[in-house]
Chains A and B, each alone.
Chain A
Amino acid sequence: MPTSDSQLLEGNKVRIGKQIVLPFSKAIEISLRGVKVRFWRSMITMSGIILAIAFMVSIWVSGAVLDGLRSKEVRDRQVLSQVAVETDKLVYRLADGTERTVELRRERAIRNTVTFVLNSKGYDVGGADAAKAAPETTKPRPEAEPARGAQAPAADMASAAKAKGGKDLWLVALSLCVAVVGIVNAMLMSVTERFREIGTMKCLGALDSFIVKLFLLESAFLGGIGTAIGVVIGLLLTSVSSLVSFWALREMILPAVSWGDVLQGVSVAMGAGTLLSVLGTVYPAIVAARMEPVVAMRQEA
C-alpha cells in the first residue's frame, strides 16, 4: 500500500482509483447496522408506506376474491347448462377430465347464494332466475345459447369492475404518494440529525457516492421490511373483510380465490413499496452526500 510520503498526492488517479473500490458488502453491513439501531423509529417513518401498501394489497386481494367468486358463478352456470343433469345429481366435468357428482339441491343453493350475495353487495352478476332456468331443463341445451347468456352479465361485470378498479387505483396511487412525501420529509430530518456522523465519514475519506449508497441501502432494507409488514396487514384485513362481506359464502372463498392473482398483487406491492421508499430517499441522500465535512468540526452538538 502506498503510504509513504513520497508516493502521496502525485495525482496518480490509478492509485487513487484503488482506494475508492469499497466492498459493497461493507456498505450493506454498515447500513444494516443503521437499520438495526434505529429500527423502531424507522418503522414509524415507514408507517405511511406500511398503511399505503396494506391498502393496496387489500384492494388487490379483495378484487381477487370477488373475481374468484364471480368466475365461479359464471363457470358453474356453464357447467350446469352443459353437463347432463339427472333428477337430483349434478355431474361436473373438471378441467382434467375427471368427473365429480354433487347433489343438485345443494349446488343450486350455493350458486344462487353467490349470485344473491354478489348482487346484494352491488356487484351485478345478472338475475338468479336466468341461472335457475338452466338446470331445470333436463335435456341438454345447444352450447351457443347458454354461452351468450353467460357472456352478457360477464361483460357488465368487467366494465363495472374496471370503473371501480380505476377509482381504487387512484386512491392507491394517492396514498402511495403521501407515503413517499412522508419518507422524504423524515429522511431529510434524519440527514440533519446525522450531519456530524456524515461529516465525520467524509473526513475519514468516504466518497459522496458511499454516503448515497449508505442511505439508499438503508431505505431499501427499511422499505422492504415496512412493505412486508404492510402486506401482512393488508392480507389480514382482506381476510377479515371478505369473511364479513361474504359470510354466506365463507366455504367458497378460499377455493374460489385465484392464488396466482394474490401472489402477483403481493409481489407488485413488495416491489412498489421498496422502490418507492428508495426513491423517496434519493433527494435526502444527495443532500447528505453534499454535506461539507467541515460540519463534523463544529463544536455545538
Chain B
Amino acid sequence: MIGQTIVRTKDVKRIYTMGNVTVEALRGINIEIRAGEYLSIMGPSGSGKSTFFNMVGGLDKPTEGKVYIDEVDVAQLDAYELAWLRCRKVGYIFQSFNLIPVMTALENVTLPMVFAGLNNDQARDKGMELLKQVGLDKRHSHKPFEMSGGQQQRVAIARALANDPAIVLADEPTGNLDLRTGTEIIEILQRLNKERNVTIISATHDMKMLKASDRVVWIRDGRVDKIEKREDLDIQIASVDGEH
C-alpha cells in the first residue's frame, strides 16, 4: 500500500572537500519517495549511492539543496531532533552489519528501544518478538561473533525495526553475503515491506534486489540517470536471470 510522500529531495548536492581537492559526489538529485514503497538505488561504484543515502537518513547534510522527511527540512533539525529522527523514524541496515560486538543479539535489538525510553521488560518482549520475526529467537543470547553473516544481518534487521520506524535504509545489505543468504535477507525485507508497510530504501549493486523493488533509481556520477517502475523492470530481470 503506497501512500503519501515521505521523503523528498530538492536539488541535493554534496561536495566533499579534502584540502584543495573537491569531489562532487551528488550533483543535484530530485526524488520523491512514498510511504510503503520499496525503492532500490542502483549505480556503479562511486556514483554517490551511499552519499545520497546518508542524506535521506539524516546522517549527513547536503552542501546545497534540501531533504524533506515528512515535509520537515532535515537541515533545520537540532541535535535532539536528529537523534529522535534516527531513533524512531529511520531504521538503518549496514553492509557490515555493525552489531555492537560486546552485546548479545537481544541486547543489540533492544538498544534503540533503550534510547527511545522503553523499560527493560517492554524492550525484552518486543526484542524477542522481532527476533522471532527474523527467525532468530533461539539465538537471542548469542554474541555477534558467534553468528554467521546472514544471521548477523537478520539481527540487524530486527534492530532496525526496533522502534517501528517509517523508513528502513539499507546500504548494500547483501554486499557481504553469499547469493543464498542475500536472497533470504531480501525476502525478509520484502516481507516486512508488505506486512508492516515500512518504506524500504536500499542501495545496492545486487540485481536480485530489483525483483523486490517497486521502483529502481539508477544513479550515475551523482545524478539520477533513470527511474524505472517495476512494470518496466520485468523484461530486464528476465534477461538478468538468463545470464546466470
Residues of A within 8 A of B (CB): 1-3, 5, 8-9, 11, 13, 16-23, 26, 33-34, 37, 196-197, 199-208, 210, 292-294, 296-297, 299, 301
Report how far A204 CA is from B108 CA in the complex, Å: 10
CB closest residue in chain B, given A299: B95
> B88 an interface residue at 8 Å Cβ cutoff?
yes
CB-CB under 8 A from A206, the residues of chain B are: 83, 115
A-facing residues in B83-100 (Cβ within 8 Å): 83-89, 92, 94-96, 98-100
CB-CB under 8 A from B88, the residues of chain A are: 2-3, 8, 19, 205
> B33 an interface residue at 8 Å Cβ cutoff?
no
CB-CB under 8 A from A8, the residues of chain B are: 70, 88-89, 166
A-facing residues in B182-220 (Cβ within 8 Å): none
> B50 an interface residue at 8 Å Cβ cutoff?
yes
Is the beta-carbon distance between B116 and A297 smaller than 8 angstroms? Answer: no
Task: Using A5-B6, A205-B87 as known contacts, say yes or no to A16 and B80 having CB atoms under 8 A apart.
Answer: yes
> B111 an interface residue at 8 Å Cβ cutoff?
yes
Is the beta-carbon distance between A294 and B60 smaller than 8 angstroms? Answer: yes
Is the beta-carbon distance between A196 and B54 smaller than 8 angstroms? Answer: no
A291 CB → nearest B CB, Å? 12
Report how far A33 CA is from B114 CA in the complex, Å: 16
Is the beta-carbon distance between A297 and B94 smaller than 8 angstroms? Answer: yes
Is the beta-carbon distance between B175 and A296 smaller than 8 angstroms? Answer: no
CB-CB under 8 A from A202, the residues of chain B are: 83, 86
Report how far A206 CA is from B114 CA in the complex, Å: 9
Residues of B within 8 A of A (CB): 6, 35, 50, 53-54, 57, 59-60, 69-70, 72, 79-81, 83-89, 92, 94-96, 98-103, 111-112, 114-119, 159, 162-164, 166, 171-172, 175
CB-CB under 8 A from B163, the residues of chain A are: 3, 205
Is the beta-carbon distance between B69 and A9 smaller than 8 angstroms? Answer: yes
Is the beta-carbon distance between A204 and B159 smaller than 8 angstroms? Answer: yes
Is the beta-carbon distance between A5 and B35 smaller than 8 angstroms? Answer: yes
* Interchain CB contact (< 8 A) of B115 among A19, A294, A296: A19
CB closest residue in chain A, given B72: A9
26 examples of A-B residue contacts, CB within 8 angstroms = A1-B116, A5-B6, A5-B166, A9-B81, A9-B89, A13-B80, A13-B81, A19-B83, A19-B88, A20-B80, A22-B115, A196-B96, A201-B111, A203-B86, A204-B92, A205-B84, A205-B87, A206-B115, A292-B60, A293-B59, A294-B59, A294-B60, A297-B53, A297-B54, A299-B96, A301-B96
Is the beta-carbon distance between B114 and A22 smaller than 8 angstroms? Answer: yes
CB-CB under 8 A from A204, the residues of chain B are: 86-87, 92, 111-112, 115, 159, 162
CB-CB under 8 A from A210, the residues of chain B are: 115
CB-CB under 8 A from B57, the residues of chain A are: 203
A216 CB → nearest B CB, Å? 18
4 nearest A-B residue pairs (beta carbon):
A205-B87, A205-B115, A204-B112, A200-B98
CB-CB under 8 A from A205, the residues of chain B are: 83-84, 86-88, 112, 115-116, 163
CB closest residue in chain B, given A37: B102
CB-CB under 8 A from A297, the residues of chain B are: 50, 53-54, 59, 92, 94, 171
* Interchain CB contact (< 8 A) of A201 among B50, B69, B100, B116: B100
CB-CB under 8 A from A3, the residues of chain B are: 88, 163-164
Is the beta-carbon distance between A197 and B70 smaller than 8 angstroms? Answer: no
